[in-house]
Amino acid sequence: QVQLVQSGAEVKKPGASVMVACKASGYTFTIDNYFIHWVRQAPGQGLEWMGTINPSGSRIIYAQNFQGRVTMTRDTSTSTIYMELSSLRSEDTAVYYCVRTHGYWGQGTLVTVSS
Amino acid sequence: QAVVTQEPSLTVSPGGTVTLTCGSSTGAVTSGHYPYWFQQKPGQAPRTLIYDTNNRHSWTPARFSGSLLGGKAALTLSGAQPEDEAEYYCYLLYSGVRVFGGGTKLTVL
C-alpha cells in the first residue's frame, strides 16, 4: 500500500531554514505522473498548497506565495522528496504535509518558528 | 491567482442528503480542473475522499460521491452519519498550480 512517512517535528528560530523529508513506499516511485505536493496548515487555519515536484525533478512548480523561499528536491535512490523553506517567520508555524497524486497523505510534520 | 470558493458551513440531519460545492473565480469548473475532496476531523490529518472529479478511494464510504454540478465541483453525501461531521476542503488545478478552497464545516444535527 502507498505510504508517505515524513520526518519529525522541528523547532526553528526566525530567519532560519527547515527541511522536511517525505519518504515514499508501496509504489513505483519513478512513475513521473505521480507528483508529490506539499501542503501546510497553520494552527486553526485552512489548507494551503505550497508546490509540487515530479519524481524525475523535471517539473517543479511553486505557489506564488512561496516563490523564492521554498525549494523542493528529490532523491530517487531513497524514494524521498524534500521541502526546504527558508527565511522562516512566526507565521510559518504550521503542520506541513506531503501528498501524492491521487491523494495519499503523509502524517504531517509540525514546524514551530519561535525565538 | 484564482480563488476557489466553498460554503463556509452547512448542516445536515442524520440520514439526510447534502451537497457541498467548489466554485472557481475563473468560470465553470470542469474535469480539467481535476477536483479533489478532502475530509478533516479535529486533530487529524486530512484524508482524500474523491480525486479527479468522481473517483473514490477504497476507504471512501459509498455514501460520498463527486460530480460536476451547475458549473461547480460537487461532493454529495447521501445518508449522513454522525461521524461525517468534519471540515471538507476541495482543491482545483490551474495550469499546474493547485488552489484550495476555504473549507466547509459540515455539522450533522
Contact criterion met (CB < 8 Å) for B89 and A63: no
CA distance B68 to B87: 20
| End-to-end CA gap in chain B | 36
Tens digits of residue pLDDT in B66-90: 999 999 999 999 999 999 999 999 9
Q: What is the pLDDT of residue A111?
A: 98
| End-to-end CA gap in chain A | 40
| Confidence check: pLDDT of B1 > 90 | no
Please compute the mean of the pLDDT values over residues B101-106 and round it to a whole number. 98
Report the amino acid identity of residue B4. Answer: V
**A96 phi, psi to nearest 5 deg:** -110, 130
Report the amino acid identity of residue A43. Answer: P
Tens digits of residue pLDDT in A3-13: 999 999 999 99
C-alpha cell at A105: 497523505
SS3 B87: strand
Residues 24-63, chain B, touching A (beta carbon < 8 A): 36, 38, 40, 45-48, 51-52, 55, 57
Please compute the mean of the pLDDT values over residues B3-27 and round it to a whole number. 98
Which one of B40, B48, B96 has the shortest CB-CB distance to A103?
B48
Contact criterion met (CB < 8 Å) for A46 and B100: yes
Q: Write out chain A residues lying below 8 Å of B48, CB-based.
A: 99, 102-105
A48 touches chain B (CB under 8 A): yes
Q: How far is CA B107 from the centre of its chain?
A: 14
Q: Write out chain B residues lying below 8 Å of A61, CB-based.
A: 96-97
Please compute the mean of the pLDDT values over residues B102-107 and round it to a whole number. 98
Contact criterion met (CB < 8 Å) for B48 and A49: no
Q: What is the pLDDT of residue A102?
A: 95
Tens digits of pLDDT across chain A (115 residues)? 999 999 999 999 999 999 999 999 999 999 989 999 999 999 999 999 999 999 999 999 999 999 999 999 999 999 999 999 999 999 999 999 999 999 999 999 999 999 9
CA distance A42 to A75: 27
Instruction: Tell me if B19 sits within 8 A of B74, measured CB to CB.
Output: yes
CB contacts < 8 A (A, B) = 50
Contact criterion met (CB < 8 Å) for A52 and B96: yes
Query: B8: nearest CA in chain A?
Result: A46
A89 touches chain B (CB under 8 A): no
Question: Which of A37, A38, A47 to mutate against chain B (most B CBs within 10 Å)?
Answer: A47
Tens digits of residue pLDDT in B26-74: 999 999 999 999 999 999 999 999 999 999 999 999 999 999 999 999 9
